[in-house]
Amino acid sequence: MPSPSAAPHPQPTRTERSFGADEIIVSKTDARGRITYANDVFCRVALYSERDLIGQPHSIVRHPDMPRCVFQLLWQTIAAGNEIFAYVKNMAKNGDFYWVFAHVTPSYDAQGRLDSYHSNRRLPSPAALAKVEPLYRALLAEEQKHADRKQGQAAGFALLEKLLADAGVSYEEFVFSLDDSPAAAGVAA
């Protein structure tokens, strides 16, 4: 059950929050994306209490700068039973932002049915963010060209697929090559 103390989505600030390179933000959700576990690092960085987070959709920390098509890719991947790595800009309870390098995996019950998701998030490198941020701005701009959110998301997803195809890399290759790959630079341009 969502906590009555959970605040409405805040207005974004320009203040960046961070966490230690040796720290990991951990959360678990049910199959619908509602938070069932949040570690102390998550709570501290996002400025929510555990009580505020449990039962809430994970989108409680979604930053409006994030292209919806990236979440479409994430959900398609994990719903198909595959893990995914992604760079995500999140928003804390007060509107501050923080970047993470997320590793999201599906979890299964004793009968082998997908029943939840687990996410570990680490501090991303500045070099990777320097390539991700322009890409995300381009995807978000494409999405915002459309009055209909679904059409915008589809257009952003098509642009992402085109940029990856033009660079000759898969999404996974792009993500793991951000620090020094010429192919990654071609997608992010």
Task: Note the pTM of the prediction, 2 decimals.
Answer: 0.89
pLDDT in tens, 116-158: 999 999 999 999 999 999 999 999 999 999 999 999 999 999 9
Residues contacting 17, CB < 8 A, separation 6+: 45, 47, 92, 96, 97, 98
pLDDT in tens, 78-99: 999 999 999 999 999 999 999 9
- Asked whether residue 46 is domain-assigned, the answer is yes
Q: Do both 73 and 120 map to the same domain?
A: yes
Domain residues for 70?
25-124
Give me the sign of the Cα torsion angle 85, 82, 135, 120. negative
- Contact between 82 and 43 under an 8 Å Cβ cutoff? The reply is no
Q: Which of 95, 124, 153 is the last residue in one of the domains? A: 124
Q: Do both 49 and 137 map to the same domain?
A: no
- Contact between 102 and 88 under an 8 Å Cβ cutoff? The reply is yes
Per DSSP (E only), the strands in the chain are 25-30, 35-38, 84-91, 97-108, 114-122
Average pLDDT over residues 11-27: 97
- Asked whether residue 86 is domain-assigned, the answer is yes
Domain containing 30 — which CATH number? Answer: 3.30.450.20
